[in-house]
């Protein structure tokens, strides 16, 4: 189906062999006419792809004279097709999408226009520790929301009821808040919450302050928090957003996320949205066209912002 769709999009035949290496594939590639396109079978059908096997990498390299990597979403993985192949091809480089990703994410780390506001949500603090640590020296404000906010609130001895938390990350959350304070970085946590006894559609909800009743769980940020966060977003000149503000897949716990999406879109700031759920949110809110850059790589964009070297990019720099 992918080959058929690609053929429709580019208006020419796409040859689709039944493998990605081997004599049959080599013959098809060798006999290609100018302008012909060959789409190889899924590389991950071979375990050597994810193992970054050098022999497999060299076989892939043998099919081309020039290698272009435009798959930013897998740039953080050292696989044969993203890293290994590059050492066996003389002419190599990044594609237009990869170039755009590097430029926009690079702007966040190198002299961003201020104020620089990061909105970090989602379920786990553990997924964002590296990003927070690296951004502490670069942002002016971090807005913490989603389930991860309740680990931060718990670290401040605030009751969170049955809200989702990571017990083993409470001390880390406390340390992050202390370091932010010493660096004069403002971290804002929810000041009110939408709570319920279960994560279900049409469940009875209520709005409470910072503290969550013992028999309830916080599933979205409340109206006061939305307004507080919006004020920071409106002042921003640069925004990075990763992770929803609540359980946005289930109404009515989508309001916080939708409101933040609209606020980011209307801010006029240089805005970068990274991560699957955040991307879904801006699409759901109908504001994707007003975001400066929507990253195609959730894991890759986070690792880039952690300051890590991505194998798929490093391989092209050698």
pLDDT tens-place string over residues 78-125: 999 999 999 999 999 999 999 999 999 999 999 899 999 999 999 889
Residues 174 and 231 reside in one and the same domain: yes
How many domains does the chain contain in total? 2
Q: Residue 276: pLDDT band by 50, 70, 90 thresholds?
A: confident
* Structural domain span for residue 66: 2-96
CATH number, residue 16:
3.40.50.1260
pLDDT at 248 over 90: yes
| C-alpha neighbours within 13 Å on the C-beta side of residue 178 | 8
Q: Residue 318: pLDDT band by 50, 70, 90 thresholds?
A: low
Q: How many CB atoms lie within 10 A of CB 88?
A: 16
* Exposed / middle / buried, residue 198 (Cβ in 10 Å: 0-12, 13-18, 19+): exposed
Q: What is the pLDDT of residue 302?
A: 92
- Decide which of 96, 130, 155 is a domain's last residue: 96
pLDDT, average across residues 128-140? 93
Reading the block at residue 255, the tokens are 């309001």
Residues 185 and 286 reside in one and the same domain: yes
Looking at the chain, how many residues does it have? 318
Q: What is the pLDDT of residue 66?
A: 97
Question: Rounded to an integer, what distance in angstroms lies between the CA atom of residue 58 and that of residue 263?
Answer: 48
Whether 314 is covered by a domain: the verdict is no
The SS3 call for residue 221 is strand
Q: What is the pLDDT of residue 275?
A: 72
Residues 132 and 210 reside in one and the same domain: yes
């Amino acid at each position: 189906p992918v080959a058929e769709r690609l053929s429709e999009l580019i208006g020419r035949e796409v040859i689709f062999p039944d493998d990605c290496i081997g004599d049959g594939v080599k013959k098809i590639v060798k006999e290609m006419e100018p302008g012909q396109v060959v789409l190889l079978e899924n590389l991950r059908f071979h375990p050597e792809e994810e193992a970054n096997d050098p022999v497999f990498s060299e076989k892939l390299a043998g099919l081309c004279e020039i290698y272009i990597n435009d798959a930013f979403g897998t740039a953080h993985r050292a696989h044969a097709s993203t890293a290994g192949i590059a050492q066996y091809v003389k002419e190599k480089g990044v594609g237009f999408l990869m170039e755009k990703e590097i430029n926009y994410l690079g702007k966040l780390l190198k002299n961003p226009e201020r104020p620089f506001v990061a909105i970090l949500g989602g379920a786990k603090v553990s997924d964002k520790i590296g990003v927070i640590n690296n951004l502490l020296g670069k942002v002016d404000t971090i807005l913490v929301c989603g389930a991860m906010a309740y680990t931060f609130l718990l670290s401040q001895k605030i009751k969170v009821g049955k809200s989702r938390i990571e017990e083993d990350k409470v001390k880390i959350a406390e340390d992050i808040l202390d370091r932010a304070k010493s660096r004069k970085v403002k971290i804002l946590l929810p000041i009110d919450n939408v709570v319920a006894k279960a994560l279900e559609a049409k469940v009875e909800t209520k709005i409470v302050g910072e503290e969550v009743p013992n028999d309830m769980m916080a599933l979205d940020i409340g109206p006061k928090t939305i307004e507080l966060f919006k004020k920071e977003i409106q002042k921003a000149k640069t925004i990075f957003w990763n992770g929803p503000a609540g359980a946005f897949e289930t109404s009515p716990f989508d309001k916080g996320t939708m409101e933040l999406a609209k606020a980011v879109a209307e801010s006029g700031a240089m805005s970068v949205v990274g991560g699957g759920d955040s991307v879904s949110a801006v699409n759901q809110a109908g504001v994707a066209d007003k975001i400066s850059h929507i990253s195609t790589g959730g894991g890759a964009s986070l690792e880039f912002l952690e300051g890590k070297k991505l194998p798929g990019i490093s391989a092209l720099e050698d």
